[in-house]
Amino acid sequence: MSKYASWSCVVSNPYYSQCVPGSSGSSGTSTSTSTASTPSLTGIAATAPTTPPSKLTGMLPALGWNHWNAYGCSINETKVLAAANDFISLGLKDAGYEYINIDDCWPLMQRDPTTMQIVPDPSKFPNGISGVATQIHALGLKMGIYSDAGTATCAGFPGSLGMESLDAATFSSWGIDYLKYDNCNVPANWTDSSTPQDGDWYNSNSAIRYRQMGGALAEQSNPFQFDLCIWGAANVWDWGARVGHSWRMSGDSAPTWQYITEIIGINVQYLSSINFFSHNDMDMMEIGNGALTIEEQRTHFAAWVFLKSPILLGTDLSLLNSTQISIITNPELLAFSQDSTVGTPAAPFNATASLPTTSIPEYYSGESSKGVHVFIINTSSSSATKSFAFANVPGLTGSGPFILHDMWTGTDLTGTYSLDSTFSVTVASHDTVAYRITSS
């Protein structure tokens, strides 16, 4: 039985047909994909797609750019291609960045009345999305697009709920490599009950909306990296890896220290969800935006790195200064993010016996193929001395001697340390230091 056999399809306007759970009806625009009928489940949850995300992409946190924080709805082909060319001229491609992602506001307000496809706004994209993708691919980069798991996007453009098969095929035909899938304008009958079926949020209405698009993407000839922009709803950290490669953990970002600390605080509660093909998305980067100090921008980047979040730059790249470029292209921090041997993030640890209580954890440790790493955030409003005992660092083996390496500067610190050593450093307000520890 088709997973849409119990759906009712309605036409809300001449340009958009919507299929929703109902007592009868069928859809001519729906996708046929992998389903698994589960006896204990009822309704759409019993036959919703169970197709896992592609393993041909998304193993490591995505590195790229997204237009929204810089341009909002004022996006066009010129700005997108400028970002792609900046990737080349600023050394971002060489550093590992590859995705050029278009966010909301790229199409016309109405679908094509004949094909029902979403139509790129010709005033913004005179060569269509496919024309832009061709130019981006010619630079050796990949391209992302945006849609929504509701009736309309957050800015009111056509959403993909009930149109997943058509939209996935359309995006694929344009050469799209990445889909950011938002969570606005969800019909009332698609909202979640307080307790999902079988107590599993994978069976919630929210998860099923994303599973439908995941199943449609899986039917395309090219692999899609799938970002579930679900704002941390429906316990997504429990099921996100069964549907996509990353999932947003909060609402909109902001270029403020408060936002940076808030999302770190949210994310550290769910670090067990992070591994290869499975990433908590801490939202688009704000480096270059607002009034963030250089120290706050260093912490912004370092935290996204050591918590293995996708890093999607969100500014006019041509306006970044050399210090900001050196932050986002730091090879040693990016190597931790992109390590193909260790997929788990750094995690808070008790650095000393008398560790003070702070608004968010300040001390983190994690392993990579290159050694054991320690990251320290100074959350206070003034410079402070931060210390950690080598014996307290998880993953360190043997008694030493150990070499301490500064990941920001790429240089070893003078001297060696033993397991009995304690290291102290003065850290500027809102800054983050990053070290790698190896045996001498």
- Judge contact between 200 and 234, C-beta under 8 A: no
- Judge contact between 64 and 312, C-beta under 8 A: yes
Buried b (16+ CB within 10 A) or exposed e, 362-383: bbbbbbbebbbbbbbbbbeeee
pLDDT of residue 15: 25
Tokens 């402070």 belong to 384
| Sequence-separated (6 or more) residues with CB below 8 Å from residue 241 | 53, 273, 275, 277, 278
Buried b (16+ CB within 10 A) or exposed e, 36-66: eeeeebeebbbbbbbbebbeebbbbbbbbbb
Query: ω before 401 within 30° of 0 (cis)?
Result: yes
The number of beta carbons lying within 10 Å of the beta carbon of residue 96 is 16
Distance CA 22, CA 364 (A): 49
Among candidate residues 375, 423, 376, 371, the one with its CA nearest the CA of residue 397: 371
| Sequence-separated (6 or more) residues with CB below 8 Å from residue 35 | 3, 47, 48, 49, 50, 215
- Judge contact between 350 and 98, C-beta under 8 A: no
Report in angstroms the alpha-carbon separations of 296 from 194, 290, 323.
Answer: 38, 11, 13
Tokens 């909202």 belong to 191
Distance CA 394, CA 372 (A): 8
pLDDT tens by residue, the chain, 440 residues: 222 222 333 322 222 233 333 322 223 333 345 665 566 899 999 999 999 999 999 999 999 999 999 999 999 999 999 999 999 999 999 999 999 999 999 999 999 999 999 999 999 999 999 999 999 999 999 999 999 999 999 999 999 999 999 999 999 999 999 999 999 999 999 999 889 999 999 999 999 999 999 999 999 999 999 999 999 999 999 999 999 999 999 988 899 999 999 999 999 999 999 999 999 999 999 999 999 999 999 999 999 999 999 999 999 999 999 999 999 999 999 999 999 999 999 999 999 988 888 999 999 999 999 999 999 999 999 999 999 999 999 999 989 999 999 999 999 999 999 999 999 999 999 999 999 999 99
Report in angstroms the alpha-carbon separations of 193 from 186, 250, 327.
Answer: 14, 20, 44
Burial classification of residue 291, based on how many CB atoms lie within 10 Å of its CB (0-12 exposed, 13-18 middle, 19 or more buried) = exposed
| Sequence-separated (6 or more) residues with CB below 8 Å from residue 41 | 197, 198, 203
Alpha-carbon torsion, ordered 411, 380, 360, 390, to 10 deg: 40
Side by side, the strands of the sheet bearing 142-148 are 279-281, 246-248, 225-228, 178-182, 142-148, 99-101, 63-66, 311-313
Distance CA 86, CA 88 (A): 5
Distance CA 203, CA 214 (A): 14
pTM of the model: 0.91
Token digits for 146?
A: 């945006």
Distance CA 265, CA 42 (A): 37
Q: Write out the catalytic residue numbers.
A: 182, 252
- Judge contact between 222 and 56, C-beta under 8 A: no
Hey, what amino acid is at 209? R
Distance CA 150, CA 20 (A): 11
